[in-house]
Structure 1
Amino acid sequence: MLVLAFDTATPAVTVALHDGARVLGESTTIDARRHGELLVPAIQRVLREAGVALGDADAIVAGTGPGPYTGLRVGLMTAQALSAVTGVPAYGVCSLDAVAYGSGLTEPFLVLTDARRKEVFWARYTGPRTRVEGPSVCHPEDVPGGLPVIGAGARMYAAVLGEDRLRDGTPDHPMAASLAALAAERLASGERDGTLTEPRPIYLRRPDARVPGPPKKVTA
């Protein structure tokens, strides 16, 4: 089984190809402003280095967020477009699930990513594969207490959350290698358990952009 996975829900533009047993190739660039510019060349590079054509993939998987509106849509629209062109089925996986899976933690914990506006996206897990609450968005001081925290949002607001709750050696962002491995595992077992969904974005609030209002009247 060949799974092509990518995520653009955070500053990490990350792509990986997984054969069901191991990662065949991966690429990650941290750049919050160039998702649209970086994603497709990264996909092409990973496929080329693995010696695989896009049509050889058995599944295309994209991170569904939550994340900033523009970056998140780059990955999901790319997944839908590639699926339409090749006929390869496309799936979505919550980006926070990829952070959790990559952490390797077996104790209950929270994943937090930066939601901007001085807020965080978060979800609660009982292990690397099992999300039991969220995703949600709130201010750091409103995040549930008492559990270890991981992810870029946790590091960003460590002073609010508590430095002792941070777990070192865990990923700050969702990595495509973890996204692909988790999806391959679920596809092989046939037990999606809510992990695999349609490649649709998880929006937890309205986008920052607004439709311009009518021009103000100017009087003499």
Structure 2
Amino acid sequence: MLLLAFDTATPAVTVALHDDSGVLAGSTRVDARRQGELLAPGIVDVLRAAGRTRAELTDIAVGVGPGPYTGLRVGIVTALAMGDALGIPVHGVCTLDALAYAAGRDGTVVGPFVAATDARRKEVYWARYADGRTRVEGPAVDRPGDIAEALQGLPAVGAGAALYAEAFADPRGPEHPDAAALAAFAVETLAAGLELLAPEPLYLRRPDAQVPVGYKAVTPGGPPPRG
């Protein structure tokens, strides 16, 4: 197996390449406004660093959020396009699961904890975990104050926990998902004969961009409709 993994659901544009033995190369850049500019060069750089080509890939794993509409669709559309062009399967991984897996693997947390990322609008995307691999609640999107009591006493990882430290008992790193952890999670899951998610976005709410109220499709005085 040679699996390419990437995630653009958060400000981190992260890419990694994994074979059955471990991560061969990885790249992460944090820039909330440039996912579309950074992902393709990141993929090229990782393949070059590993001395591999796209033709050698057997699988793609992509973070499916939850995350903001614009950033999230960059990764998923890229994954689907590459998978179709190469004729290889594309697997989805919940971004919060990848974050939780990384925190559990490096010893940041032991036992029950919460993973939370910034959802903007003074909200967080969050999920609760029994351990680094076992999600027991979520993903969901809420205001931190609305869930603080229910999650009281649980350690928390992710940028959402760091941003709203008053609502999370024990915020700690990592803040953003890492494609190396996402790739390892995907390889481990597939090797166990288990299925990953479909490569479909977990938006959890309507996009920020809205059609203006009272919008008129045809302006007065414009040319008459054809027909």
Superposition TM-score, scaled by structure 1 size:
0.92
Instruction: Specify the alignment match of 1:214 in structure 2.
Output: 215
For 2:54, give the aligned amino acid: L
1:181 pairs with 2:184:
yes
2:7 corresponds to which letter in structure 1? D
Find the aligned partners of 1:61 and 1:204 in 2 and give their Cα distance: 20
Distance 1:191 1:199 in 2: 15
Provide structure 1 residue ranges, at least 5 long, that are not aligned to the other structure.
Answer: none
Q: Look up the SS of the partner of 2:190 in the other structure.
A: helix
Q: Could you tell me which residue of structure 1 aligns to residue 48 of structure 2?
A: 48
CA deviations on 1:93-133 (whole Å, 9 max, x unpaired) are 00000100000233000000000000000001000011111
Tell me whether 1:130 sits opposite 2:131 in the alignment: no
Would the aligned equivalents of 1:55 and 1:88 in 2 still touch at CA under 8 Å? no
Secondary structure class of the residue paired with 2:166: helix
Contact 2:99 2:176 in 1 (8 A): yes
Task: Show structure 1 runs of 4+ deviating over 4 A.
Answer: 215-218
| Deviation readout 1:120-168 (Å, 9 max, x if unpaired) | 0000100001111100000001123231111100000002333xx223x
Percent identical among aligned pairs is 58
What is the number of equivalent residue pairs in this alignment? 211
Match of 1:6 in 2: 6
| Contact 1:98–1:179, Cα closer than 8 Å, also in 2 | yes
- Matched residue type, 1:2: L
1:102 maps to a residue whose letter is A
Residue number in structure 2 paired with 1:29 = 29
Flag the structure with larger Rg. 2
* CA offset digits 1:186-218 (Å, max 9, x no partner): 1111123xxx11110001100011124425999
Q: Which amino acid aligns with 2:37?
A: E
Partner of 1:120: 124
* Counterpart-to-counterpart distance in 2, 1:160 and 1:126: 20
Q: CA RMSD in A?
A: 1.6
1:57-96 Cα shifts (integer Å, max 9, x gaps): 1210100000010000000000000001001110100000
TM-score by length of 2: 0.89
Who is 2:157 aligned against? 150
Structure 2 unmatched ranges of 5 or more: 221-227
